Amino acid sequence: MRKRQNFALPSVTSTYAGEAAGKYIAAALLSAKTLEQEAITIMPNVKYKSVIQKVDVSGIIHDASCDFTTSGSVALSERVLEPKELQVNLELCKQEFLTSWEALQLGYSAFDEIPRDFNDYLVSYVGGKVAEATEQQIWAGVNASNGQFGGLLPAISASAAAGTATDAIQTSQSGSINSTNVIAALESLEDAIPNTVYGKEDLVIYAPTNVVKAYHQALGTNYANGFNNQVTVGAKPLNFNGTDIVHCPGMTNSYLVAAQKSNLFFGTGLLSDHNEVRVLDMADLDGSQNYRVIMRYTGGTQFGIGQDIAIYIP
C-alpha cells in the first residue's frame, strides 16, 4: 500500500515583470481561439492608444495629358483602438492544486511544456482562465462592465444600426439559427457582403459554436445522402460558397460576421513594461496554505472600415 506524504512547499514571492511577465500574459491571451487562429489582426505593444487610419479615394483616374493635374479626392478618417487595463487578483489554496501539479511531473501533461515550478503551474492554470475570458470579450465584451473590454459584436451592431453609408451592413434576415435555416442565414450574409470586398483573400465568415454545429448538421442531413455521401461520419468543410468559416467560441449564439481579417483588430500591451505577474505564497505572512496570483494586462478591439463588414443579428 502506497503512502502519500505531503510536504510544505517553500515560501516564495515571485515577481515577473516586463518581458518575463509578457511571456505569461501573451500565452494566456493568445490561447484564445480567435487569436490563436490569427483570425483577426493582433496589434501588440499598444501602451495607451493606437489610431487606425482609414483612407477613401475617389475619382482619381482621368484622361492623360502632358501636365500634372490633381484629380479625385482623398478623405482621411480614423478609429481609435484603446486597450483597457485589466487585472487578476486571485487567491488559491496550494493543497487543492498540489496533487495535479505532482501528476504533471509524471508526464501526463496537457501543457506543451510541463511547468516544473509550482508557481509556473499556477500561473499557467490562471492563464487558461484568462484565455477563456479574453475569447468571450473579443466578441461580446462590454467596456463599461467590470473586468471586460469592449467586444466586436456590440461595436459592429451599433454601426449597422446607425445605417449610414460608412457603417456596417446588416443582413435582410434575422432570428436564431438552427440546422434548418443556417443555409438561408449564410446566404443572407453573403448577399450583404459588399462587392468590393467579396472574394478578397482574407475575407472570412466568423461563426459561433451553435452555428458551426448547425452547419455541420445541415451538410450531413439536409441534402441527398449528406455531404460527400457521408451523413454521420467524415469531416464537413467549414466553407460556404468559397468563403472560409472561422469557428469563434466567444461569439454570441446565432450571430454571423463577414469581414476581412485585416479589418478587425485586437490590441494589447503584451510585452509592455507595466505588465506584471506575481505569485505570492502567504505562508510566511499569515500562516495559511494560500497562494495569490496577481496579473495585469490590457485588451481592446476595434474595426476599421465599417461599410466593408456584413453582420447577421439574431
Write the pLDDT tens digit of every residue in 216-258: 988 887 665 566 666 666 677 899 999 999 999 999 999 999 9
Sign, CA dihedral 169-174-176-181, equals negative
pTM value surpassing 0.75: yes
pLDDT band for position 127 (cuts 50, 70, 90): confident
Instruction: For residue 260, give the 3-state DSSP assignment.
Output: strand
- pLDDT, greater one: 276 or 231: 276
Is it the case that residue 208 has pLDDT exceeding 80? yes
Instruction: For residue 257, give the 3-state DSSP assignment.
Output: strand
- pLDDT, greater one: 301 or 64: 301
Cell readout for 77 is 478618417
Residue 104 phi/psi, 5-degree rounding, is -65, -30
Percent of the chain scoring above 70 in pLDDT: 76
Cell readout for 98 is 498540489
- pLDDT, greater one: 236 or 269: 269
The DSSP bridge pattern shows strands 41-43 and 264-267 to be: parallel
Q: Determine the pLDDT at residue 67.
A: 73
Q: What is the mean pLDDT of the chain?
A: 82
- pLDDT, greater one: 86 or 19: 86
* Angle value at C-alpha 249, between 247 and 253, nearest 5 degrees: 95
> Which of these ranges, 7-21, 49-63, 174-188, 212-226, has the smallest mean pLDDT?
7-21
pLDDT band for position 274 (cuts 50, 70, 90): low
Q: Determine the pLDDT at residue 80.
A: 83
pLDDT band for position 165 (cuts 50, 70, 90): confident
Cell readout for 76 is 482621411
- pLDDT, greater one: 270 or 178: 178
Contacts of 63 (CB under 8 A, 6+ apart): none
What confidence tens digit (pLDDT) does each residue in 59-103 have?
667 677 787 766 665 555 578 888 999 999 988 887 777 777 666
Write down the CATH number for the domain with range 13-47+77-312. 3.90.1690
Tell me the H-state helices in 172-224.
182-192, 209-221
Is it the case that residue 292 has pLDDT exceeding 50? yes
> Which of these ranges, 10-19, 20-29, 177-186, has the smallest mean pLDDT?
10-19
- Distance between CA atoms of residues 308 and 80, nearest Å: 18
